[in-house]
Each structure stands twice: as C-alpha cells, then as structure tokens.
Structure 1
Amino acid sequence: MLRHPPVTAWPMTRSALAQVREREVAQQLYAGGCHCGAVRFTVDLDLDQTIACNCSNCRKRGLIFWFVQPEHFQLTAGEGGTRKYLFHKQAIKYQVCAVCGVETFFYTEMPDGAEMVAINARCIDNIDPAKLTSVPYDGASNGQLKALDPSDGVQRQIRQI
C-alpha cells in the first residue's frame, strides 16, 4: 500500500506524488459508506494520517480524507447512485450519495495526470475520527498551495510549492 506523504500541500507536487508511489506502509482493508447505506465501498489503506482541509466545502461538510490509488478502492454498492459535485476549479469530483447527501469519496488528478481517490475517513465503518491524526491543509487560500503548521495551531505558511 502506498501512502500520501505527511504535511504536504495539495494538490501534490511531482516530488510529493513520487513519495506516494514509493513509500510502502502497513495497510488494512476497511469498509465504509454513506449514512443510508446506498453507497458502500472497501478501501485498502493505512490510516496513520489524514488531511483536514479548510476550504469552504471540506469545512462546511466536516471532511477529513486520505488519498489512495484507484486500485486500492472498490465501490461495492451504489454505482450510479452518486451525484457528482464540482466547485471552484472543478478539479475535484466529489461523489455525493443521491439519497442521503453524504460525500463518501472523491476523484481527482495529480499534476502528472495520475488518478487518485480520496476517501472521507468519517465514512469508514468503526473508525473514531477523533482518534485519527489529521494534518491541516489550507485549501481556503484560493489554491495558493500553503500548508498549515499543526505544531502550534497558528495558521502560517510552512511550505510554498
């Protein structure tokens, strides 16, 4: 299983994307889905670190997520049962359950064109989101690609990509 590198801005740079593809970590098969159960999935991943974005969509919906390559994600129920939601630059294809409205996952493309799936960690069965380590990402800065420093809780740029 390959994992998203820690404390990186998103969209990922080519060097960060290379880290995703090169680093192997412990993995586990998880199941999850939306509130009503119409959309279900399995995903093979390591939940040692998630991303908490502060863009308007993630903030209002309470999303925390994790990237996986498409081969590690399987939609087991609800194919055709999601609506696609796009906003801003329309680069992220949020998948929203057509019945209950929960965003369970989304599709995106990395700078080199590689496809990725981001899983809403809050939709994984039997996971307590409060126990996950989430790295803040400043998606609210209009794509300025800034990360937040999680060590002091103060918003400041730690890396400009």
Structure 2
Amino acid sequence: MIHKGSCHCGAVAFEFEGDIDAAITCNCSICSRKAPVLTAITRDRFRLLTAEDAAATYTFNKHAIRHRFCRTCGIHPYGESGDADDASIYVNLRCLQDFDLASVPIHAFDGRSA
C-alpha cells in the first residue's frame, strides 16, 4: 500500500510504500511538545515529493534525529536518523492522508531516558 502525507500547507509532501502495523509516541523534550505519532520505515521506502529545501531541520541533544519541519506552516511531518548506520525515516502518522490512527497499536517510547 502507498501512503501519502504532507505538512498542513502542502509545501512538504511525501509518500512511502508498506504496511503500518505499529506506532510510537515519545516523551523526549521535543516530542512531548509537538505530540507526533511515529512509525519507522527504511529510507529506501520514503520518497519526498517536494523540494528538499521546503523543510528545515532541527537537531538537539545527541543529534540522533534530524527533525524536519515545514518552513511555511511549521508542521513536523517526518524525521531522519542522524546515524549513518541507521537508514530510518520516522513518519508522523498524523500527517498521512486518509489514515485512521486507531487502526494501529501505539506504544510509548521513553525518549527522555534514551
């Protein structure tokens, strides 16, 4: 299945292929404020449909994740692993079109302690 998503204004749009069978919430200092519901996918399954520079990048603490957000509307549709050995994209399921969050189990991740 192909999933499509975007920020609020559509300046950052993406798609990826695959099933979504689980998601996480995180309690780190940024996630506890922006409240994403995330699923991890491999980078090769993710395709950005808009210009790379439409999204700005924010990192903090250990710089483990490059948090990507729209320069126009400020929504955080995805993040990227900062680790060269980990080719993961963390998609904010709240930014997907026609996706029911209640359809997947959501697990809590203790990012505050990580």
Shared fold (TM-score greater than 0.5)?
Answer: yes
Structure in which a larger fraction of residues adopt strand: 2
Report what 1:77 is aligned to: 50
- The total of aligned residue pairs comes to 114
Point out 4+ residue stretches in structure 1 off by more than 6 angstroms: none
Unpaired segments ≥5 residues, structure 2: none
The question of 1:132 aligning with 2:85 is answered no
Distance in 2, matches of 1:120 and 1:45, equals 15
The match for 2:26 among 48, 53, 77 is 53
Q: Give TM-score scaled by structure 2 length.
A: 0.91
Distance in 1, matches of 2:38 and 2:59, equals 17
The match for 2:17 among 29, 44, 64 is 44
Q: Give TM-score scaled by structure 1 length.
A: 0.66
Contact 1:58 1:64 in 2 (8 A): no
Unpaired segments ≥5 residues, structure 1: 1-27, 144-161
Report what 2:85 is aligned to: 113
Given residue 129 of structure 1, which amino acid in structure 2 is its aligned partner? Answer: L
Which of structures 1 and 2 has the larger relative contact order (alpha carbons within 8 angstroms, sep 6+)?
2
Instruction: Give the RMSD, CA atoms, in angstroms.
Output: 1.5
Instruction: Render the CA deviation track for 1:6-58: whole Å, top value 9, x for unaligned.
Output: xxxxxxxxxxxxxxxxxxxxxx2100000001110001122111011111211
Contact 2:28 2:110 in 1 (8 A): yes
Please state how far the C-alpha of 1:114 moved relative to its aligned partner: 2.8
